[in-house]
Every structure is written in C-alpha cells, then in structure tokens.
C-alpha cells in the first residue's frame, strides 16, 4: 500500500515537474514569439490584405497617398494588383535575373566554401588556417563599402581595365551587368558559408577518415562518401541562408547591376518610393516571400532531420 | 592597531549608521528634485524653443542646414534651437507624408515643424500646410508671386536648375538647343550620360525635357499642375527618342549611372564629356576641387532643362508654428539668402539679386535664374520614371 502510494506520489511529482519545465519553456519562448507575432506577423497580414485591395482601416493612409491603387470588388478582394505586376513587361526580366543571380551565386559560394573546408580538413596546416582566416575578412566590411569598392575595381575607369590596357587588352566593363552582381553577392556571402561548412567538417572524427585511408580509399572517395554526407546539415543550412540573403539583396544589385532588368529587391524599392505604387511593390514582396519560404522549408527540414538523428526529438 | 587608522575609524562619519541614513535620504531627495527639475524644465522649454526641421534631400542640403543655416539662426535667435532630421534622397518621403497625413487626421503632433523636401507641394495640395501670409511672414513680400503661388502653401526659399555640363578641353562650343544636343550625342558615341530618373533629379530633368519636346505648351502646363494620366500616352515619342540614344550614351548597352553623384564622378574622371547636372551640386564640386576647372556648365533651349524653387512647409498640425514661422521668415532675409548663394551650396536665391551681396551673385552671369522651366507634378513625375524604366534601359 505504502509502496503504491509512494509510487503514485513519485509519479505525481514527476509529472508536475515535467509540466513545470514545459510551462517554463513556454514562458521563455513567449516574449520572442509575441514580438515576432506583433511586429512581423501583423504587418505582414496587413500588407497581404492591402495587396488584395483592402484599402480601409490600417491601409487607409497609404491608399490615400499611393498611385494606381486597386480597391477590392469582391468580398475576398481583387487580384488586380497581382495582374498589374505579372503583366508588367519589367517583371519577368526582374524575376529571371533574381533567380539566375541567386542560383549561380549560391552554387559558386557553396563550391568555394566546400573547396576551402575540404582543403583545411584533409590537408590542414598553417597555409589552410591562413586561407580560412583571410576568407572571413569580407564579414567585417560593410556591404555598401564593398559594393563601391567592387564598382571602382571593375568600372569603366577601374583597376582591372587600367591594368589590362597597359598590356593592350580591352578588359570588359563589368559594372552594370549581372556578372558584377554575382561577384558582389559571392563576396558578401562566402565568409558565413565557410564558417558554417568548415566547422561542420572539423566535427567529423579523424577515425573515419583514417579508417577509409587504411582501406585504400582515394581522397575523392573520402570526400564524396564521408566528408560531404556527414557535413550535409551545415551545408544545407549554409545553402539556404546564402540563397535567402541573395534573393532579398538590395545594395549589391543597386550599385553593381544594370538599371533594367534589376533584382526584385531593387525593383520593390523603385515601385514603392520612385513610382509611388505601394500595392504593386507589396505584391512583388510577397512573391519574394514565397520564394524565400520555399528555401526556408529545406532549412527547417534539415534541422528537424539532424535533431531526429541525434535523438533530440 | 595603527593609531592613525584607529582615529580615522572613529571620526569617519560614514561609519555612523544614523548619519549615513540621513545622508542617504538627503541625497535621494536631492536626486529626486534634480530629476524632477531636469525633466520638467527642458520639457517646457522644448515645446516652444526647439524647432524640428525635417530635410529630405541630398547631402549638400544637409550641410546647408546643419553647418550653415542652423548655427546662423541660433546666433541670431539664441533662445531657439534647430534640430535637423535628415533623410537621404527622400527615401522615406512616402512614410513621412503618411505620418503627417495621419497626424492631421488624428489631431496629433507630427513631430515636425518645418519641412524641406519635394513632398512639401504634395502636402500643400492636400491642404495640410499652414498658408503663409505677409502679416506673419513679412519677408515673403520679396518673393516672386508666381513661384509662391505654385507652392500651394509651401514657402520658396532657394532655387536650383539642371544644367548641361561639358568638358571645355574637348568641346569648344557646347550645344545651344535640345536638337543640337541630340545630334551631338549621336555624333560622339559613349561621351554623354544622364542618370536613371528614379535615382536623381538631374537625369530625370533630361528625360522630361526630351519628352516635352514632343508636347504642346498646354499639355506641358497641365502635367506641371495636375495629375493627368490621360496625357501620359503622349510620352511615347520622347521615350522612343531616348531608347534610340541607348547605343550612343556611355555604357552603350542602355545602362545609366545610378544617381546624381555618379554622373558627376563620370564627368570628373573624364569617362564622359557631357552630362546633365544640378547647378548647386556642380558648383559645390567645383569649389571643393572634386570637379576639374575645365568642366563648364551651360543651359540649352527649346525646351530648356528644368529647374525650380525648393519649398519649405509648415504642417498645420505642428505644435511650434511660431518658431517655424520665425525660422522661415529669417531664411528669406537677405542675410540668410546670402548664405544660400555664397556658402557651400551655391544655390539660386528667391529674393531679388539687388538685395544681395553683389560678390556672391557674380556667378550667375549667363544663367537666367528668374525663369526656370518647372518639373511635372510628383504624381506625373513618378509615372514618367516608371515609363522610362519600362521603355528605355537595356532595350
């Protein structure tokens, strides 16, 4: 009897302990959740309703000021602003350029980060450490400074053209081209990916690599069968962060890209301030938002997967 | 025990609890009183004596206010403090307009007493500005009536114009008309540029001038005064002319500098021989030495590049209209206008030249500063920027 009671009371205290911990967890995560909900969630919702032509309430002032505002003609709103954007001759070019720059830059960043990380992991030594340290430097240079630096480096009167003209070669002016946006994006995104992927590679135990070497596996096999699969989670995280960052970039395409087509980050700003078409700029923002969410899903999936593998959930 | 330290302990008043308590209490009282005074006194002063000025412009206008006008005004009126808030290139014009509109609707303090920015006339058209009258603002009597009327409640306080800058080392006689300029551009590929209209007013002015070439005087006037979406289809011919210039302008593949500063840089480094620039920015660069002396400016005709007055606005909902009026009136005085003309800005004055220092106004020979061709109303200008981006670059 006593033992049963004891057992029950023990169980009881364990449950209340568990409940207390989960309550504490909830209380700790509540303030940031509330903050995100109020300062990010609600404005997004208001923006979404405005893009569908709800021009009253919190959207009243902006619809008084903006031009080419479409007012809803059904209970659920109107697609007129979305149709405006899709039928605008600039939009497809902008979307194409945004996707092209994001895909190419992310690919280049990941390939370079992998190369440096694998070099550091397999060969190592002083030279590899110096290389990694040097590659982190762009992290400490503000984007606007590096954008101007790249602009003067590749511009019409820039360093590259001056050097090449001395040996009689007409180096192309890269500013105002998509190539310059890719160069700038790679410069700004590379350090984070290197930090992420190289730390992932460092965490792989030496035993695995040595065992593979003992069995006579060539370096190529070690890279494709051990290093990359075991560092998959950090690679996916680096990839998704890089892609989301470049997708929404503004400074780099503004300074280095062509006037038209331009990346959606710049076009959203043009539509919002220069052309005073807030509704259309919101529509574009939602298109970028949807694309970024697609990338974010892969990030969350890889996080969940790694948590499950390590037994945390 | 050391005798000295023992004596010290005995006479040290901080060691006596009651005394300590008293000191603590009085310190707390003093602190509380100081806090109360500190909060109360400046707050009551702040309402009447700080003038909140909001500037939406380029950095040269920021320098004009922060380094020249605000200190000179505070020297003339020591009781007033001018607090300048600056927004580069008017990036937040829409938000600021929204804030002032919302403040007027809700009868709240907008936090701004005097505005210098392109959106002042928009606020004026919406009836949100205090209308200046000579009784309370005596110096507006010296300002051109038509310019004052065009402000819709805005107070004109300086002017500037877009001009054609050219490298006099390579060009002996610059084009005198727009047609001459267009012929010159086609004869000298890669040697002319203007910046994207959404990035700065100097490029915008060239675009509007080319578009205006094909419009009647009546249509031009309508576009300056009222929102006229129906007239926008008449821009097609001008935009086609601009598109055809793509292969002759600098870059030669339909790319254009991002902003005013980049056009100036391209001229200064010799990448281009000709470009459109703001009169004040050009004069400042010349004075600072960032623009070589062989780059000169001229105005073209038929039609001329645009220019006009910049307006100050006092929101109706401002809580310090008295201070704002005092500042606006002072800015229109000959002393302040001399600062605008001769200081780092090199702006055009809005009061007759005869009232100003003749040394300062000597620079205006050759440029007619009394008859500036106006830019479109902002709603039409926004649409022209968008139409240009659709029809011209990269096509």
Which value, to the nearest 10 degrees, does the dihedral of the CA atoms of residues A52, A56, A59, A65 take?
Answer: 100
B256 vs A156, A177, A259: nearest CB: A259
**At residue B301, what are phi and psi to the nearest 5 degrees?**
-125, 170
Question: Is residue A163 scored above 50 in pLDDT?
Answer: yes
Question: Is residue B104 scored above 60 in pLDDT?
Answer: yes
Q: Best mutation site among B242, B258, B377 for testing chain A: the one with the most A CBs within 10 Å?
A: B258
In this structure, of B29-38, B57-66, B203-212, the range with the lowest mean pLDDT score is B29-38
At residue B348, the pLDDT reads 86
Please give the domain boundaries of chain A with CATH numbers for all domains: 16-87 (no CATH), 88-309 (1.10.3720.10)
Q: Which helix (H) or strand (E) holds A99?
A: helix A89-122
Residue A8 banded pLDDT, cuts 50, 70, 90:
very low
Give me the sign of the Cα torsion angle B63, B284, B147, A62: negative
Interface of B with A in 319-378 (CB under 8 A): 378
> HSE (CB half, 13 Å, CA atoms) of B299?
21
Which value, to the nearest 10 degrees, does the dihedral of the CA atoms of residues A244, A246, A250, A254 take?
Answer: -160
Q: Determine contact: A250 vs chain B, CB below 8 A.
A: no
Question: Is residue B363 scored above 70 in pLDDT?
Answer: no
- With CB atoms and an 8 Å threshold, state whether B383 touches A275: yes
Give me the sign of the Cα torsion angle A13, A14, A20, A24: positive
Check: CB of residue B101 under 8 Å from CB of residue A65.
yes
- B-chain CB neighbours of A253 within 8 Å are none
Question: Is residue A244 scored above 50 in pLDDT?
Answer: yes
At residue A48, the pLDDT reads 94
pLDDT per position as a tens digit, B113-152: 999 988 888 888 888 999 988 888 999 998 888 788 888 8
Question: Is residue B375 scored above 90 in pLDDT?
Answer: no
At residue B204, the pLDDT reads 95
Residue B370 banded pLDDT, cuts 50, 70, 90:
low
- A-chain CB neighbours of B258 within 8 Å are 254-255, 259
Q: Determine contact: A274 vs chain B, CB below 8 A.
A: yes
Check: CB of residue A274 under 8 Å from CB of residue B382.
yes
- CA–CA distances in Å: residue B26 to residues B11, B18, B30, B36, B41: 21, 12, 6, 15, 22
DSSP assignment, residue B130? P
Secondary structure of B272-340 in the HEC alphabet? CCEEEEEHHHHHHHHHHCCCCCCEEEECCECCCCEEEEEEEECECCCCCHHHHHHHHHHHCCHHHHHHH
Distance (Å, rounded) from C-alpha B95 to C-alpha A43?
15
Question: Is residue B313 scored above 50 in pLDDT?
Answer: yes
Q: Best mutation site among B261, B394, B395 for testing chain A: the one with the most A CBs within 10 Å?
A: B394
- CA–CA distances in Å: residue A156 to residues A234, A260, A286: 39, 19, 36
pLDDT per position as a tens digit, B220-234: 989 988 888 999 999
- The mean pLDDT of A158-167, rounded to a whole number, is 90
- B-chain CB neighbours of A61 within 8 Å are 98, 101-102, 105
Assess whether the previous peptide bond of B303 is cis (omega < 30° from 0).
yes
- CA–CA distances in Å: residue B65 to residues B56, B60, B186, B323, B366: 11, 9, 41, 16, 28
- B-chain CB neighbours of A274 within 8 Å are 197-198, 382, 385-386
Distance (Å, rounded) from C-alpha A198 to C-alpha A202?
6
Tell the burial category of B91 from Cβ atoms under 10 Å away from its Cβ (0-12, 13-18, 19+): middle
Q: Determine contact: B166 vs chain A, CB below 8 A.
A: no
pLDDT per position as a tens digit, B223-265: 988 888 999 999 999 999 999 999 999 986 789 998 899 999 9
pLDDT per position as a tens digit, B145-177: 878 888 888 999 998 889 999 999 999 999 999
Distance (Å, rounded) from C-alpha B132 to C-alpha A33?
50
- B-chain CB neighbours of A176 within 8 Å are 251, 253, 255
At residue B7, the pLDDT reads 35
Residue B368 banded pLDDT, cuts 50, 70, 90:
low
Distance (Å, rounded) from C-alpha A122 to C-alpha B172?
67
At residue A111, the pLDDT reads 96
Question: Is residue B59 scored above 80 in pLDDT?
Answer: yes
Distance (Å, rounded) from C-alpha B301 to C-alpha B373?
10
Distance (Å, rounded) from C-alpha A30 to C-alpha B389?
46
B101 vs A64, A90, A271: nearest CB: A64
Distance (Å, rounded) from C-alpha A170 to C-alpha A166?
9
At residue B344, the pLDDT reads 72
B379 vs A67, A173, A259: nearest CB: A67
At residue A123, the pLDDT reads 87
Residues composing chain A: 313
Q: Determine contact: A64 vs chain B, CB below 8 A.
A: yes
Portion of chain A with pLDDT greater than 70, in percent: 94
Strand, helix or coil for residue B8:
helix
A176 vs B91, B251, B382: nearest CB: B251
Q: Which helix (H) or strand (E) holds B87?
A: strand B81-88
Total Cβ atoms within 10 A of residue B8: 11
Distance (Å, rounded) from C-alpha B170 to C-alpha B267?
12
Q: Which residues pair with B192 in a beta bridge?
A: B249, B274
- The tokens describing A213, both together, are 């070497």
Distance (Å, rounded) from C-alpha B93 to C-alpha B54?
11
At residue B288, the pLDDT reads 85
At residue B23, the pLDDT reads 44
At residue B215, the pLDDT reads 95
Distance (Å, rounded) from C-alpha B89 to C-alpha B86?
9
Assess whether the previous peptide bond of A261 is cis (omega < 30° from 0).
yes
Interface of A with B in 140-169 (CB under 8 A): 156-157
Portion of chain B with pLDDT greater than 90, in percent: 45
Average pLDDT, rounded, for chain B: 83
- B-chain CB neighbours of A277 within 8 Å are 382, 386
A276 vs B94, B256, B271: nearest CB: B94
pLDDT per position as a tens digit, A83-110: 999 999 999 999 999 999 999 999 999 9
Interface of A with B in 86-115 (CB under 8 A): 88-90
Check: CB of residue A120 under 8 Å from CB of residue A154.
no
pLDDT per position as a tens digit, B332-347: 999 999 998 887 777 8
At residue B43, the pLDDT reads 38
pLDDT per position as a tens digit, A191-236: 999 999 999 999 999 999 999 999 988 989 999 999 999 998 899 9
At residue B365, the pLDDT reads 59
E strand spans, A135-289: none
R_g of chain B computed on alpha carbons: 27
At residue B356, the pLDDT reads 84
- With CB atoms and an 8 Å threshold, state whether A273 touches B378: no
Residues composing chain B: 395
pLDDT per position as a tens digit, B4-18: 333 333 333 343 344
Give me the sign of the Cα torsion angle B14, B16, B17, B18: negative
Q: Which residues pair with B162 in a beta bridge?
A: B278
At residue B32, the pLDDT reads 46
pTM: 0.78
Q: Which residues pair with B249 in a beta bridge?
A: B192
Q: Taking phi first (over 0 means left), then psi (-120 to 50 degrees means alpha), and beta for anything else, what does residue B234 get?
A: alpha
- The tokens describing A260, both together, are 């038209």
Q: Determine contact: B190 vs chain A, CB below 8 A.
A: no
- The mean pLDDT of B179-191, rounded to a whole number, is 95
Strand, helix or coil for residue B86:
strand
């Amino acid at each position: 009897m006593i033992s049963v009671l004891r057992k029950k009371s023990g169980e009881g205290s364990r449950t209340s302990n568990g409940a207390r911990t989960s309550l504490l967890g909830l209380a700790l995560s509540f303030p940031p959740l509330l903050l995100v909900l109020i300062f990010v969630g609600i404005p997004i919702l208001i923006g979404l309703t405005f893009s569908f032509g709800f021009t009253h309430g919190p959207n009243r002032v902006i619809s008084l000021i903006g031009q080419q505002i479409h007012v809803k003609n059904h209970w659920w709103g109107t697609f007129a602003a979305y149709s405006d954007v899709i039928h605008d001759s600039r939009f497809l070019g902008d979307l194409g350029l945004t996707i092209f720059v994001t895909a190419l830059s992310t690919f280049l960043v990941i390939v370079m980060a992998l190369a440096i990380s694998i070099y550091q992991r397999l060969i190592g030594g002083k030279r590899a450490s110096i290389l990694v340290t040097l590659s982190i430097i762009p992290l400490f240079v503000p984007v606007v400074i590096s954008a101007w630096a790249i602009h003067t480096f590749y511009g019409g009167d820039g360093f590259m053209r001056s050097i090449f003209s001395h040996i009689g070669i007409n180096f192309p002016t890269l500013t105002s081209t998509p190539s310059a946006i890719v160069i700038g994006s790679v410069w700004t995104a590379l350090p984070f990916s290197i930090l992420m992927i190289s730390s992932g590679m460092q965490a792989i135990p030496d035993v695995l690599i040595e065992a593979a070497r003992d069995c006579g596996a060539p370096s190529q096999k070690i890279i494709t069968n051990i290093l990359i699969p075991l560092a998959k989670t950090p690679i996916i995280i680096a990839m998704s962060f890089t892609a989301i960052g470049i997708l929404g970039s503004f400074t780099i395409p503004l300074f280095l890209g062509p006037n038209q087509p331009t990346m959606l980050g710049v076009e959203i700003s043009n539509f919002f301030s220069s052309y005073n078409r807030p509704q259309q700029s919101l529509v574009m923002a939602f298109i970028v938002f949807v694309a970024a969410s697609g990338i974010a899903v892969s990030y969350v999936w890889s996080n969940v997967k790694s948590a499950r593998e390590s037994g945390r959930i | 025990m050391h005798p000295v330290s023992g004596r010290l302990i005995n006479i040290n008043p901080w060691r006596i609890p009651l005394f300590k308590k008293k000191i603590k209490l009085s310190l707390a009282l003093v602190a509380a009183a100081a806090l109360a005074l500190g909060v109360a006194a400046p707050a009551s002063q702040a309402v009447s004596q700080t003038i909140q000025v909001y500037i939406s412009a380029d950095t040269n206008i920021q320098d004009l206010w922060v380094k020249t006008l605000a200190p000179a005004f505070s020297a003339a009126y020591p009781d007033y403090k001018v607090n300048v808030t600056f927004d580069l290139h008017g990036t937040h014009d829409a938000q600021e307009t929204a804030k002032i509109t919302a403040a007027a609707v809700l009868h709240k303090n907008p936090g701004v007493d005097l505005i210098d920015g392109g959106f002042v006339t928009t606020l004026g058209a919406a009836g949100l500005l205090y209308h200046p009258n000579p009784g309370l603002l005596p110096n507006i009597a010296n300002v051109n009536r038509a310019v004052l009327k065009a402000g819709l409640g805005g107070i004109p306080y300086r002017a500037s114009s877009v001009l054609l800058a050219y490298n006099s080392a390579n060009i002996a006689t610059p084009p005198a008309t727009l047609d001459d300029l267009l012929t010159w551009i086609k004869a000298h590929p890669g040697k002319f540029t203007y910046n994207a209209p959404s990035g700065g007013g100097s490029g915008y002015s060239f675009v509007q001038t080319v578009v205006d070439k094909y419009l009647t005087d009546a249509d031009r006037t309508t576009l300056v005064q009222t929102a006229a979406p129906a007239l926008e289809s008449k821009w097609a011919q001008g935009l086609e002319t601009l598109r055809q210039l793509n292969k002759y302008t600098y870059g030669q593949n339909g790319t254009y500098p991002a902003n005013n500063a980049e056009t100036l840089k391209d001229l200064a480094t010799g990448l281009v021989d000709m470009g459109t620039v703001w009169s004040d920015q050009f004069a400042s660069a010349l004075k600072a030495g960032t623009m070589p002396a062989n780059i000169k400016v001229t105005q073209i005709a038929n039609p001329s590049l645009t220019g006009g007055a910049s307006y100050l606005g006092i929101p109706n909902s401002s809580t310090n209209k008295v201070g704002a009026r005092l500042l606006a009136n002072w800015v229109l005085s000959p002393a302040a206008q001399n600062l605008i003309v001769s200081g780092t800005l090199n702006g055009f004055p809005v009061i007759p030249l005869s009232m100003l220092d003749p040394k300062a106004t000597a620079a205006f020979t050759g440029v007619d500063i009394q008859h500036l061709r106006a830019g479109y109303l902002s709603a039409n200008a926004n649409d022209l920027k968008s139409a240009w981006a659709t029809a011209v670059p990269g096509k």
